[in-house]
A and B are shown apart, each in its own frame.
Chain A
Amino acid sequence: MSDTDSDSEEVRTDGTGIVPPDDETPSWQERKARHEGLSRLTYEYFERARREDQDLRQQSSYVERDVLAFPTWPHEMIRNLALVSFFVGMIIFLSAALPPHIGPPADSSSTPAIILPDWYLYWSFGLLKLGPLNPDISLLGGQKLMADRTYGVLANVVIVGFVAIVPFLNKGAARRPVEQPFWGAVGVSGIVFAFTIAVLSVKNLIQMDSHLLFDLTFLLPIVSAFLSYAVLRSMREGYMFNLNRRYYRLRPPK
Chain B
Amino acid sequence: MADEFAKGLAILMGGGLAWLTLAGWYRTPSFEGSGVQLVAPVETPATIYGEIGIALMDVLAWFSVIGALTFWVVIPAVEELRSALDERSG
Contact = CB atoms under 8 A, between A and B. Distances in A.
> In the complex, which range does the number of interface residues on chain A fall in?
under 10
Contacts of A103: 32
Interface in B61-79: none
Contacts of B25: 97-98
A101 interface: yes
B83 interface: no
A112 interface: no
Nearest to B23: A98
Interface residues of B, number: 7
Contacts, number: 12
Interface string B13-29: 00000001100110000
Interface in A88-129: 97-98, 100-101, 103
A217 B2 CA distance: 38
Contacts of B20: 98
Interface of A: 97-98, 100-101, 103
Given A98-B21, A101-B31, 10 more contacts: A97-B21, A97-B24, A97-B25, A98-B20, A98-B24, A98-B25, A100-B31, A101-B30, A101-B32, A103-B32
